[in-house]
Amino acid sequence: METYYNPEDLQKFSTISEGAPELWKKFGEWYGAVFAEGALSEREKALIALAVAHAVQCPYCIDAYTQACLEKGSNKEQMTEAVHVAAAIKGGAALVHGVQMKNAAEKVGL
Amino acid sequence: MSDVKELCEKTGSAAPVRLKGEIENRFDDALAKAGLHPLTAEGVSVFQVNMGSVCNQACRHCHVSAGPDRVEAMSESVADECLSLIEANRFAVVDITGGAPEMNPSFRRFVSMAAVSGSHVKTRTNLTVLLGEGFEDLPSFLADNKVEIVASLPYYLKEIVDRQRGAGVFERSIEAIKRLNAAGYGVDGSGLELNLVYNPCGAYLPPGQRSIEADFRRELAKRHGVVFTGLFTITNMPVGRFKDFLESSGNLTRYMDRLIGLFNPDAARNVMCRTTVSVGYDGSLYDCDFNQMMGLKCGFGAPDHISRFDVSALGKRRIVTGEHCFGCTAGPGSSCTGAVA
């Protein structure tokens, strides 16, 4: 069945370089530097990436960073907590906008 | 292939040679590109003896496909031949493996005689076997013989260990470690080494050895009050029961692509087969325990049985390779003593 998301398409990511190779090269270097060990460990960065992947609902990123988290030594408990952090922020972000709803309702109300 | 041949010429490497019946061996191509083809031994410092496939467990990742239903076991006469070779050659390391080698009737005699040979003797254990009837005194026996213990414990959480190794294995493993600690194993200053082995519980690669060792040390001490000397991370090889899992779960292609994509020439330079000879239960010789399980004996004219053992010839033999070898060369590499690069 055709679908917009095919797992094998992840392997084609680098074909994005076609047409803008310099930009791809810069992206690759920057991306690599971002995930290198720094003030945060590679494991912490992978967990952040996993949480963000869920927040932006990118199946490629979820696939890649589930694997990356496991390969950095995280376990399912830790990864599930990371996903809950993403869900809490997304849910909280939706809910806190309820204040805007209240403000708008207040403004048009008598 | 043409680009590989060209690179071989540039680097002075021999062109990859296919094994009989093997259509494609991308590992030889990778070696050639790195200027490492053909892969050859550099002496024999590790004499690894597989005492058979009999085991009290049937772990889902086991490359030996070991279990209680297996019958292959090293005979007393083959064990004696191995002991003669150990005495004659004084290998730096004698590494005893299986299956559960403790279940071989010759195990204790083999250990005690190897221990007086001057070689450093290590034995691999699944831990739970140490709790079995008739094996309870093994911790003190091994301690008396100053044998290093390399014990399988793929994670510090019960759920993960039991999923890979069977229900109840984690708790019994912890009990066995407590008994080993009581015998002095893993305790600072005792001189008795207890090294644990991590391997992934699935189709992914191990984390950094130092990083996960710190987790194990902290969590095992906090949760169970046990200690150990060090931790080895070992990549699951696409061999035996783990390969069956990869195939049945649809992960084989992706896993192999991952191993191949992470080929590390530095790891390839340090692969354990270059300094190891692996002996099968029937005395056959192999480049490593994985080749042993695939039935790939030492080749290219090197002796392939202990009855023809020639340390000089084996020490410069050409290694028999296959695509499974990518498991030892991915990222930081993998060996029976963990990462290599």
Amino acid B20: pLDDT:
53
Query: What is the domain extent for residue A106?
Result: 39-110
pLDDT reading at B102 higher than 50: yes
Q: Domain count of chain B?
A: 1
Chain B residues whose beta carbon lies within 8 Å of the beta carbon of residue A72: 207-208, 211
A100 within some domain: yes
Give the distance from residue A94's alpha carbon to the nearest chain B alpha carbon, in angstroms.
35
Give the distance from residue A103's alpha carbon to the nearest chain B alpha carbon, in angstroms.
49
CB contact under 8 A, B160 and A75: yes
Give the distance from residue B151's alpha carbon to the nearest chain A alpha carbon, in angstroms.
19
A32 within some domain: no
CB contact under 8 A, A41 and B211: yes
**Of B23, B4, B11, B66, the residue nearest B323 (C-alpha):** B23
pLDDT reading at B159 higher than 50: yes
Amino acid B17: pLDDT:
52
Q: What is the mean pLDDT of residues A66-79?
A: 96
pLDDT reading at B285 higher than 90: yes
> Taking a C-beta distance cutoff of 8 angstroms, is the pair B181, B227 a contact?
yes
A13 within some domain: no
| CA dist B39 → B35, B102, B275, B321, B325 (Å) | 10, 33, 11, 8, 11
Chain A residues whose beta carbon lies within 8 Å of the beta carbon of residue B205: 71
CB contact under 8 A, A72 and B204: no
Between A2 and B151, the higher pLDDT residue: B151
Enter the tokens of residue B158. 């019960």
Q: What is the mean pLDDT of residues B7-15?
A: 51
pTM of the model: 0.88
pLDDT reading at A107 higher than 60: yes
Asked if A71 has any chain B CB less than 8 Å from its own CB, the reply is yes
**Nearest CB to A71: which of B157, B204, B215?**
B204
Query: How do residues A9-68 score in pLDDT, each as one tens digit?
Result: 888 999 999 999 999 999 999 999 999 999 999 999 999 999 999 999 999 999 999 999
B90 falls in which pLDDT band (50, 70, 90)?
A: very high
CATH number at residue A103: 1.20.1290.10
Question: In whole numbers, what is the pLDDT of chain B averaged over residues?
Answer: 93
Q: Domain count of chain A?
A: 1
CATH number at residue B174: 3.20.20.70
CB contact under 8 A, A70 and B211: no
CB contact under 8 A, B208 and A73: yes
pLDDT reading at B1 higher than 50: no
Task: Report the alpha-carbon distance of residue A67 to residue A65 in Å, rounded.
Answer: 5
B16 within some domain: no
pLDDT reading at B8 higher than 50: no
What is the three-state SS of B230-257?
EEEECCCCCCHHHHHHHHHCCCHHHHHH
**Nearest CB to B202: which of A11, A43, A70?**
A70
Nearest-by-CA chain B residue for A10: B254
Query: What is the domain extent for residue B293?
Result: 2-11+22-329
B4 falls in which pLDDT band (50, 70, 90)?
A: very low
Amino acid B5: pLDDT:
52
Amino acid B25: pLDDT:
83
pLDDT reading at A4 higher than 90: no
Rounded to 5 degrees, φ, ψ at B97 are -140, -175
